[in-house]
Structure 1
């Protein structure tokens, strides 16, 4: 295929991304959700840092992971943002207009994925930075001091930077997972049920099963436990899966959901 034949497709994608961005930014509901993502993530993280205690040295807690606690509830809002991008159009019938304007359905899904990724990435970055700053401010007053073996949180520290950047990517991947699922099921409520069930199923099963090997395996393949491994900065050898490998597992879940959603979008009528 020549470079010239690729240009119309690239131009079409740019125009579709612009159209999707216009739809999202003119919907006040999405703006409030993104602000809610920042507020909930930062507030829960600050609360976790404010209530944590380390009265003696070697208290066995990971201060970075504590400071990023809010990412777990924040992921629900990220999923809602993504689900509404597709579910709202199916609920109102606007999807017919969208597909009439852009007949190539993979372009529509790619544009929605780009807009969702960009907005969640921006909101997630602010939320994670606020969480790290809250931890840096609050944890030393609760015993997480150099005297107890804990340096002040800093993004110049490699493991802390990896945990923070990985948490932002985690939120983006959860949003893409939700986008793919909603594109496949075409219903907002059902999609949110599937997304939350998929995220929390593996942690729940880990609390039910008694076999250590099976529990470890569930933590390795579950999108939430595997993905959140990227936040760990201590005792990495005892993790069921490595930080980046765990985020890779979540990326595979998101890619699989988008593949299924894209296939359904192409093969079924709107």
Structure 2
């Protein structure tokens, strides 16, 4: 992959992004919704107990839906309007196109996600009784991990979008992939099966990174859980990249 071509393609993708007004509104919704849900959850706790970081960062489970929409628009919008043909004509190296979109999307989601996570932790620190300091080691790990979680969700959605080439289908598929495992785990009654679903699902496994207390009771550890999500994301990107290389736009 030519570094110069990649840099120019990234610049072109950034130009597309910053000239789209809808993107900025979605980023604002991502930040405000994540902080609002986290603050509401933290404010609803009337006494000590529970995991403060987990409660404060609960808005990530809602904000990730906005991240999915952002990622799907990154590629699905071009397929819908036919602009993808123009993009691939300008940059014939299709792997470069995928890498550039992934890089720009990751940077934007990381910045917006960082603001959302920081706002959520500040709100939680102010609202939750006995909340640890924001510089506490586990809290920092939960914060950094939550930002990485949102970035991985964006890449997962991007890979699926390139694979199916339809924004609506991609959005539905990714959201089902995320929320289906927790829903099934609430329906089944077998504790062993519930634990396996929590270990294998991209959302429950990935969100283990937010836990700061009682780690030994988790179905999967914080970093291994994020690793499970990374495997889902890598598989989606590999599939999307394969389809992109082998099929016409």
What does residue range 15-164 of structure 1 map to in structure 2 within 5 Å?
15-54=8-47, 60-139=49-128, 144-145=129-130, 152-164=131-143
Deviation at 1:60, TM superposition (A): 3.9
**How many aligned residue pairs are there?**
249
Cα pair 2:125 2:134 within 8 Å, conserved = no
- Secondary structure of the structure 1 residue equivalent to 2:213: coil
Distance in 2, Cα, partners of 1:154 & 1:100? 52
Cα pair 1:167 1:230 within 8 Å, conserved = yes
Distance in 2, Cα, partners of 1:208 & 1:138? 32
Cα pair 1:67 1:135 within 8 Å, conserved = yes
- Secondary structure of the structure 2 residue equivalent to 1:69: coil
Could you list the per-position Cα deviations for residues 177-234 of structure 1 after superposition, in whole angstroms to 9, with x for gaps in the alignment? 0000001011111000000000011111111222211111110010000000000111
Aligned to 1:148: none
Distance in 1, Cα, partners of 2:97 & 2:14? 12
1:210 equivalent in alignment to 2:199: no
Structure 2-normalised TM-score? 0.98
Could you list the per-position Cα deviations for residues 115-152 of structure 1 after superposition, in whole angstroms to 9, with x for gaps in the alignment? 1100000000000000000011111xxxx23xxxxxx3
Match among 144, 160, 179 for residue 165 of structure 1: 144
Consecutive unaligned residues of structure 1, counting only runs of 5 or more, are: 1-5, 146-151
Consecutive unaligned residues of structure 2, counting only runs of 5 or more, are: none
Q: Which has the larger radius of gyration?
A: 1
Aligned to 1:255: 234
